[in-house]
Amino acid sequence: MRILSLADTHFGYVYGRTASARFQTSDQMFKVFSDSIEYAKKNKIDLILHGGDFFNRSNPKEEVVSRAYELVESLISEDIIFVCIPGNHDRSRLPETLLGYYMKNVHFINKFTTIELNEITIMGFPYVNQNPKDVLKRITKFANKNQDKQLVLLCHQLFDGAMFGPHNFVFRNRIDVLQTFTLPRNILFTLTGHIHRAQSLKDMNVFYSGSLERTSFMEKVEPKGFLDIVIEDGTAEIQFVENSTLPMEVIEIELDESMSISSLIDDNFPDPNTKTLLRFYGKKLSQKEIKFLWSYFPAKEYPLLKFSPRNPGTLLKSLYTGSKSLFKFDKIVITASN
């Protein structure tokens, strides 16, 4: 069996200061998902697993829902199974669709569900905020009763050791964080969304595919894509496939009391056609300096530009120490006995 694992498509996400810019960024979310589907078709993928945050909000616009579900419907001509669970942006529930009724290979999961396939059994459940340990009991109970099956867990949760952001913040002991050592040992691997950085927690075979496109400047140094997984004879080979994303730039400018913002901007001028964050740190900006920035970068000429701070009196520290990627996903091979 060959699986394509992805997550955090965030259909309906928009960014930009003009209508055309917002349309461009919204359209990109559909494009990268469509590219993933084409990859699945070309490479004879058997199963697509979506780890949540299908939409960017719990009540997406009708046209967003229709367009997203039409892409899934395109799988009807292919022998590809599609399974999706809702994430926190979906408020743990996906909008109703008839796809699951007339397409036997499409599964939108709004409650704890198991799906029996030839080679594996999928356990999937929606995002749980307050106490995911309760659903862990159901997972453990099912796993204990099915020791002879190859189990794959699909979810949208935080796991201890998961990392995000330019300073590599690591999630540890929180009420919404699951401990990897508590997962049943006969789960072959866990595929999860929620964290947008693709990464592996190898101690218990937990894998984040990450988002298909960047939705935050904190993700600037992270490659985006999905996981291609081949299961054969109790062994899973997992590799990351990078896709094409919109260009993004973070320009950090250090200030001191003697420096003029205008002269520094001239030396670090942003590209109006690139999604850019112009970030000032080292000293607080005055109200006059904030107004200068608004007038210096009109929305029509710089539709993809943001600057920070946007309020006077806010002191920032440097966000990035370099543009080198923080991530390297080597091909991983695991077995049911690991």
Question: What does the pLDDT average to over 12-30?
Answer: 97
> Is 314 within a domain?
no
Residue 176 shares a structural domain with residue 268: no
The answer to whether the beta carbons of residues 123 and 142 sit under 8 Å apart is yes
Q: Do the beta carbons of residue 48 and residue 2 sit within 8 Å?
A: no
How far, rounded to the nearest angstrom, does the alpha carbon of residue 28 sit from its chain's CA centroid? 14
Q: Is the pLDDT of residue 107 over 50?
A: yes
Query: How many domains does the structure of the chain reveal?
Result: 2
CA distance 258 to 262: 12
Q: Do 18 and 120 have their domain in common?
A: yes
Q: What is the pLDDT of residues 253-272, one digit of tens each?
A: 988 877 778 888 887 889 99
Distance of alpha carbon 294 from alpha carbon 41, whole angstroms = 47
Say whether both 201 and 260 belong to one domain. Answer: no
Same domain, 215 and 104: yes
Q: Report if residue 317 sits inside a domain.
A: no
Amino acid at site 259: M
For residue 80, the domain's CATH number is 3.60.21.10
Beta-strand ranges (E) seen in 46-98 are: 47-50, 81-84
Mean predicted confidence (pLDDT) in 76-93: 93
Does one domain contain both 241 and 275? no
Backbone angles phi, psi at 42, to 5 degrees: -70, -30
With cut-offs at 50, 70 and 90, classify the pLDDT of residue 338: very low
pLDDT of residue 323 exceeding 80, the answer is: no
Burial class (CB in 10 A: 0-12, 13-18, 19+), 311: exposed
> Which helix (H) or strand (E) covers residue 263, if one does?
helix 261-267
Angle at 307 between CA 301 and CA 312, to 5 degrees: 125
Residues 211 and 271 occupy one common structural domain: no
For residue 58, which amino acid is it?
S
Model confidence pTM above 0.85 = yes
- Domain of residue 266 covers 248-308
Q: Which tokens in the block code for residue 158?
A: 């935080």
What per-residue confidence (pLDDT) applies to 322?
53
**Does residue 325 register a pLDDT over 60?**
no
* 181 DSSP assignment: G
**Is residue 315 situated within a structural domain?**
no
On whether residue 260 sits in a domain, the answer given is: yes
Say if residues 51 and 154 touch (Cβ distance below 8 Å): yes
Note whether 173 and 260 are same-domain residues.
no
The pLDDT score that the predictor gives to residue 137 is 93
Region of poorest pLDDT, from 15-19, 76-80, 102-106, 259-263: 259-263
Greatest mean pLDDT among 20-34, 158-172, 177-191, 313-327 lies in: 20-34
Q: What is the mean pLDDT of residues 105-114?
A: 94
301, 177: one domain:
no
Determine, yes or no, domain membership for 38.
yes
158 inside domain: yes
Query: Are 142 and 201 part of one and the same domain?
Result: yes
The answer on 171 and 102 residing in a single domain is yes
Question: Can you give the pLDDT at residue 71?
Answer: 95
The string over 26-63, giving b where at least 16 C-beta atoms fall within 10 Å of a residue's C-beta and e elsewhere, is bebbbebbeebbebbeeeebbbbbbbbbbbbeeebeee
Closest CA to 159 of 187, 121, 117: 187
Confidence of residue 336 (pLDDT cuts 50, 70, 90): low
Quick check: is 125 in a domain? Answer: yes
| Statement to judge: residues 54 and 40 lie in one domain | yes
Tell me if 105 sits within 8 A of 81, measured CB to CB: yes
Both 94 and 205 in a single domain? yes
Q: Is residue 318 part of a domain?
A: no
